Amino acid sequence: MKNKKISVIGLGKLGSPMVASFAAKGFNVIGVDTNLDSIHLINKGMAPVFEPQLNEYLHANHKRISATDNYNTAIANSEISFIIVPTPSDKEGAFSLKYVLEVGKHIGGALRKKSDFHLVVLTSTVLPGATEKELLPVLEFHSGKRCGRDFGICYNPEFVALGSVIKDIFKPNFILIGESDPDSGEILTSFYKTICENNPPIARMNFVNAELTKISVNTYVTTKISYANMLAEICEHLPGANIDIVTSALGLDPRIGPKYLKGALGYGGPCFPRDNIAFAYLAHRLGTTAMLAETTNLLNKRQVPRLLKLIKSKLSPKGKVGILGLAYKPNTDVVEESEGIGLARSLIAEEIPVMAYDPAAMKNAKKVLNASIIFTSSLKECIQQVDIVVITVPWKEFKNIQPEQLARPNNKPLIVIDCWRILDHKRYKEVVDYVPIGIGS
């Protein structure tokens, strides 16, 4: 299997780590993108996006990696092509196939000139019906070939998290394959048996079941997150209640499990929010409802307003608020649907002065918030100039804050709202007014 050559269409947040990971396992990999800067960086063995370990893996395996904007070159010199391009939400809440179908046209044109069997793998998240009714006809039309005979298609979405993409590729919880035919599914199965280090279960099925499974996984996870957040709010109003104690016990039940039962802020990022919306859209399109997904979305939108209410209840007149964390989660620079960004916007709307710091996401945050808040150059600078500090992302740097960093020379202690309860209250109670989310007073 390692003799096979791979092409990856799309060198973004997931595509670039896929290139690096496949090359690290001994495959020759061609990356394809329209962004010439990304192509240039990949060819130099440098990461075009922020992701832990990516630079090291690209540099260490650059002899097996190349990048181009030429589809004919990539398809002619590979046997499996992974499509990992954006499928953003459209105005109705569905996933737009604009980029997927454009790539399909290019791949189809390149397949027209190729005689060998080629496997096309769609990794981008799509709604049920998209692979068979949208991508497949485009590939057949532009190639003049027949799916299942001259080429194959698999729908194979990744279940990875930004900040740990490479680790998740090597050690996935499971592999999901929707296949056009058994031979195509077998080719992809054999490929993953070479890539994966943990012998994960592999679920093979038709396209529509695989497409539904992908968005079902994400909407189920967001339901767990919102359930824990609902519990956290109840705990705050119940003297003696502690969300961490409750969820630790809940997670012991194997029917529930501990993952995603934190009780903190809402979910964000490029996938979870839009997948819930798309799931609800799908249900309405089919003449039914997805009330649980819709309610989960409403619960998620409630988190920033309730945090704002807490801040306002404790903020002195003309007081300043510091936000620690602008990315949507640790170990990434992505700010899409970030709770920290949402909080900053809400504070701005209330004309409350805001300062903010994030270890990785400052550049992206400045693009969306402009000059409406003060961006500090360090954690220390942010802490020293505000009256309330809100920890919105559990970055390692924030977990290592020392009590002396929070101490104030005057008699008015700094108020620390810890949304993730990453600080040990016993160490900080003498120097700050510590307010953890999810714990009853």
Look up the CATH number of the domain holding residue 321. 3.40.50.720
Q: Beta strands 175-179 and 151-155: pairing type?
A: antiparallel
User: Number of folded domains in the chain?
Assistant: 3
| Boundary of a domain, candidates 283, 301, 319 | 301
Supply the CATH number for residue 231's domain: 1.10.1040.10
By the 8 A CB rule, do 192 and 175 touch? yes
Which amino acid makes up residue 377?
S
- Determine contact, residues 211/185, Cβ cutoff 8 Å: no
Res. 64: pLDDT tops 90: yes
Binned at pLDDT 50, 70 and 90, residue 258 comes out as very high
| Average pLDDT estimate for 228-254 | 97
Closest CA to 326 of 279, 366, 380: 366
Average of per-residue pLDDT across 45-50: 97
Q: Please, how many CA atoms are within 13 Å of residue 227, restricted to the half-sphere of its CB?
A: 17
Is residue 291 domain-shared with residue 179, that is, in the same domain? no
pTM as predicted: 0.93
Give a yes or no: residue 314 inside a domain. yes
CA atoms lying within 13 Å on the CB side of residue 196:
18
In a domain, 441, yes or no: no
Q: 55 and 41, same structural domain?
A: yes
The answer as to whether 390 is a domain residue is: yes
Give the residue-averaged pLDDT of 36-45.
Answer: 97
Is residue 185 domain-shared with residue 230, that is, in the same domain?
A: no
Q: Are residues 369 and 290 in the same domain?
A: no
- pLDDT-derived band of residue 1, with 50, 70 and 90 as boundaries? low
Angle, vertex CA 141, rays to CA 140 and CA 146, nearest 5: 25
Establish if 211 belongs to a structural domain.
no
Task: With beta carbons less than 8 A apart as the criterion, state whether 127 and 282 touch.
Answer: yes
Residues 110 and 22 placed together within one structural domain of the fold: yes
**Average pLDDT of the chain, as a whole number:** 96
| Domain range enclosing 386 | 303-436
Whether residue 259 is found in the same domain as residue 335: no
Q: How far, in Å, CA of 424 to CA of 359, rounded? A: 21
Q: Token digits for 164?
A: 């740990």
Alpha carbon distance 305, 288 (integer Å)? 30
Query: In the predicted model, is pLDDT for residue 283 greater than 80?
Result: yes
Residue 397 has pLDDT above 80, yes or no: yes
**Is residue 210 in some structural domain?**
no
Question: 2: pLDDT confidence band, cut at 50, 70 and 90?
Answer: low
- Is there a single domain that holds both residue 128 and residue 74? yes
Q: Are both 40 and 97 inside the same structural domain?
A: yes
352-362 average pLDDT score: 97
Q: Domain boundary at 301, 324, 341, which?
A: 301
Residue 429's pLDDT band, with cuts at 50, 70 and 90, is confident
* Single residue among 205, 235, 269 that ends a domain in this structure: 205
What pLDDT is recorded for position 116? Answer: 95
Same domain? For 269 and 367 the reply is no
52 vs 54: CA distance, rounded Å = 6
Nearest to 338 by CA among 311, 310, 372, 362: 362
**Structural contact between residues 114 and 76, judged by C-beta atoms closer than 8 angstroms:** yes
**Beta-sheet pairing, 388-391 with 374-375:** unpaired
Q: With bands split at pLDDT 50, 70 and 90, how would you rate the model's confidence at 408? A: confident
Same domain, 114 and 17: yes
Residue 134 and residue 23 share a domain: yes
Per residue in 162-204, pLDDT (tens digit) is 999 999 999 999 999 999 999 999 999 999 999 999 999 999 9
Mean pLDDT of the region 3-31: 96
- Tell me: do 57 and 181 sit in the same domain: yes
